Chains A and B, each alone.
Chain A
Amino acid sequence: MAGILSITGLGKRYASGLVALEDVNLEIQKGEIVALLGPNGAGKTTLISIVCGIVSGTSGTVLVDGHDIVRDYRASRALIGLVPQELHTDMFETVWATLNFSRGLFGKAPDAAHLEKVLRDLSLWEKRHDKIMTLSGGMKRRVLIAKALAHEPRLLFLDEPTAGVDVELRRDMWALVRRLRESGVTIILTTHYIEEAEEMADRIGVIAKGKLIVVEEKAKLMRQLGKKQLTIHLMSPLAQLPEALSAWNLTLKSEGRDLEYTFDGHEEKSGIPELLRKLAELGLEFNDLQTRQSTLEDIFVSLVHRKP
């Protein structure tokens, strides 16, 4: 089955000569939630902008539900909703007017009931007659989300939807995203809050320097790349690691008080019992043990800094 979004060999070089994307390949199925992570300037917004038609790609093809975004732009764009990263709004318009405009622009007949539902979902209904410039930053972002939903898109791009949004609203937004997914909408979001990706996404893609370095199911990514760590708190500090312990992947931390052992979480043998026996043999006493699973954040950082 063809996915709702299919990107092949996509590249982008800006007029300045800067290569923002290089040979990006990505296949997304209907109803998925995919989070794109990547440092500032990695190319996330560029990728989204090309799919939406705001930026022209230099090479490669993009299909939205089988429609080429260049040759068949009407069909592809009608399916897409975009919430941009920047707060671009028509300051002098009312919320209601701007929503009606968006719906019409995407070729849909007016539907007050749908717009009312969208506004209520985003707690904006009371503000519908207000001019956008009188709204707070978080409300403006919600107006942008409402605009993107006004024409009932099947593929929704959220470019950092929760930047500058308070905790409660962020929870509301996550709930909204889940409801949208239940109604069959595919969602691609970018975020710098890793816990958000962890909480929301089915799959996670990591972009660094214009390259999509991984796209993987969240659980699998955590399993494959996740490490476990055992911290052993020693009674008396060590000046250096004893030769006898070189078989384990150990580092000394906290001025020699902590021994940190990093191991693969899904290996058959962790090597812990042997290590502990060895410590006893060497007469190294300890008073505390702690294990920790590496978070998505650790994985992300190690991926982004990994040399190609």
Chain B
Amino acid sequence: MNHHAVYAIFRFELARFGRTLWTSLATPVITTSLYFVVFGAAIGPRMTGMGDVPYGAFIVPGLIMLAIFTESLNNASFGIYLPKFTGTIYELLSAPVSPFEIVLAYVGAAATKSVILGLVILATANFFVPIRVEHPVWMFAFLVLVATTFCLFGFILGIWAKSFEQLSFIPMLVVTPLTFLGGAFYSIDMLPPAWRTFSLFNPIVYLINGFRWTFYGTSDVPVEASFGATLAFFAICLVVVAWIFRTGYRLKN
């Protein structure tokens, strides 16, 4: 294991985040606060059907997940797309590092940032509504797993993308809609039966509900299914990354 290399990349990536620390933290914090104003304060009191959890608190896990999805995809895809774009990837390709080390460092750095961000949003939310976390260890484990999975996914996107448009294509056109339809702001039990069944094919539903379970012990779908879906997604991303490095796909001529 070339641990000097892993550390060098990790540090380099975190330094890159550090340069944009304020904007990258301020944006999600402000967005989250706006969600609270709109959904929590204005609409919340009229919302029922979330059991004994107040609506403002109900949406917190979904909001954190939403931020984790988009930030992980953005950071991880940008992290590997940038050297491809500027040409500095030559150094990475010519270095004595294994694909595993490259992924560990890039995805690790991006996931670290995402987890910190998730915790910052949680702290912000706590200003607006009192939040209880029933299973803190599971909560943290789930946060790390989802962040890592989406960073892996982002890493793949960054390698696949040939332009900045393509880079933002998947997050915008696929992930954001799926998240909004994934029960971040409502319980899928509130939907008409047909839509409810339809929602069960949306993987995001499992991620959000699994995470919500770690907070309030309630979930629209079985928790085992949630963890299973997350692990499956993680495994798929790993297989794709392994394939990318074996074939040199869009990395090597």
Question: Which A positions have Cβ atoms within 8 angstroms of B?
Answer: 14-15, 52-56, 73-78, 80, 82, 84, 86, 88-93, 97, 100-109, 147
11 A-B pairs in the complex with CB atoms less than 8 angstroms apart? A74-B2, A77-B95, A82-B91, A92-B16, A93-B12, A103-B4, A104-B8, A105-B8, A105-B91, A106-B96, A108-B4
Please tell me if B131 contacts chain A, counting CB pairs below 8 Å. no
Q: Which residue of A lies closest to B94 (CB)?
A: A52
Seed contacts A88-B86, A90-B86, A107-B95; 13 additional CB < 8 Å A-B pairs: A55-B253, A56-B248, A56-B253, A75-B96, A86-B87, A88-B88, A90-B88, A97-B12, A100-B8, A104-B9, A105-B9, A108-B4, A109-B4
Which chain B positions have C-beta within 8 A of A74?
2, 96, 98
Which chain A positions have C-beta within 8 A of B87?
84, 86, 88
A105 touches B88 (CB 8 A): no
Q: How far is the CA of A106 from the CA of B96 in the complex (A)?
A: 6
B253 touches A82 (CB 8 A): no
Shortest C-beta distance, B173 to chain A (Å), equals 28
Which chain B positions have C-beta within 8 A of A92?
16, 19
Q: How far is the CA of A77 from the CA of B5 in the complex (A)?
A: 13
Which chain B positions have C-beta within 8 A of A106?
4-5, 95-96
Please tell me if B242 contacts chain A, counting CB pairs below 8 Å. no
B253 touches A14 (CB 8 A): yes
Please tell me if B97 contacts chain A, counting CB pairs below 8 Å. yes
Which chain B positions have C-beta within 8 A of A15?
253
Q: How far is the CA of A107 from the CA of B253 in the complex (A)?
A: 25
Which chain A positions have C-beta within 8 A of B88?
88-90
Q: Which residue of B lies closest to A92 (CB)?
A: B19
Q: How far is the CA of A279 from the CA of B11 in the complex (A)?
A: 79
Q: How far is the CA of A127 from the CA of B35 in the complex (A)?
A: 46
Instruction: Tell me how many residues of B have a C-beta within 8 Å of chain A.
Output: 26
A104 touches B90 (CB 8 A): no
Q: How far is the CA of A143 from the CA of B88 in the complex (A)?
A: 13
Please tell me if B93 contacts chain A, counting CB pairs below 8 Å. yes
Q: Which of A54, A78, A90 contacts B96 (CB 8 A)?
A: A78
A82 touches B94 (CB 8 A): yes
Q: Which residue of A lies closest to B4 (CB)?
A: A104
Q: Which of B95, B98, B252, B253 contacts A105 (CB 8 A)?
A: B95
Q: Which of B5, B12, B93 contacts A53 (CB 8 A)?
A: B93
Contacts A56-B253, A107-B4 hold; do A89 and B91 have CB atoms under 8 A apart?
no
Q: How far is the CA of A130 from the CA of B93 in the complex (A)?
A: 26
Q: Which of B5, B19, B90, B252 contacts A84 (CB 8 A)?
A: B90
Q: How far is the CA of A14 from the CA of B87 in the complex (A)?
A: 19
Please tell me if B92 contacts chain A, counting CB pairs below 8 Å. yes
Question: Which B positions have Cβ atoms within 8 angstroms of A?
Answer: 2, 4-5, 7-9, 11-12, 15-16, 19, 86-88, 90-98, 248, 252-253
Q: Which residue of B lies closest to A82 (CB)?
A: B94
Q: How far is the CA of A285 from the CA of B1 in the complex (A)?
A: 80
Q: Which residue of A lies closest to B10 (CB)?
A: A104
The listed residue with most B CB atoms (<10 A of its CB), out of A15, A55, A76, is A55
The listed residue with most B CB atoms (<10 A of its CB), out of A52, A73, A86, A107, is A107
Q: How far is the CA of A84 from the CA of B93 in the complex (A)?
A: 12
Shortest C-beta distance, B44 to chain A (Å), equals 42
A101 touches B96 (CB 8 A): no
The listed residue with most A CB atoms (<10 A of its CB), out of B5, B12, B252, B253, is B253
Q: Which residue of B lies closest to A86 (CB)?
A: B87
Which chain A positions have C-beta within 8 A of B8?
100-101, 103-105
The listed residue with most A CB atoms (<10 A of its CB), out of B86, B95, B97, is B95
Q: Which residue of B lies closest to A94 (CB)?
A: B15
Contacts A107-B5, A108-B4 hold; do A54 and B86 have CB atoms under 8 A apart?
no
Contacts A88-B87, A90-B86, A92-B19 hold; do A53 and B4 have CB atoms under 8 A apart?
no
A97 touches B94 (CB 8 A): no
Q: Which of B12, B16, B91 contacts A147 (CB 8 A)?
A: B91
B12 touches A101 (CB 8 A): yes
Which chain A positions have C-beta within 8 A of B96?
73-78, 106-107
B97 touches A105 (CB 8 A): yes
B94 touches A104 (CB 8 A): no
A91 touches B90 (CB 8 A): no
Shortest C-beta distance, B1 to chain A (Å), equals 10
Q: How far is the CA of A82 from the CA of B93 in the complex (A)?
A: 11
Q: Which of B2, B16, B92 contacts A107 (CB 8 A)?
A: B2
Q: Which residue of A lies closest to B16 (CB)?
A: A92
Which chain B positions have C-beta within 8 A of A103?
4, 8
The listed residue with most A CB atoms (<10 A of its CB), out of B19, B88, B96, is B96
A55 touches B252 (CB 8 A): yes
Shortest C-beta distance, B17 to chain A (Å), equals 12
Which chain A positions have C-beta within 8 A of B95?
77, 105-107
Q: How far is the CA of A93 from the CA of B91 in the complex (A)?
A: 15
Q: How far is the CA of A97 from the CA of B4 in the complex (A)?
A: 14
Shortest C-beta distance, A183 to chain B (Å), equals 21
A91 touches B86 (CB 8 A): yes
Q: How far is the CA of A32 from the CA of B148 in the complex (A)?
A: 47
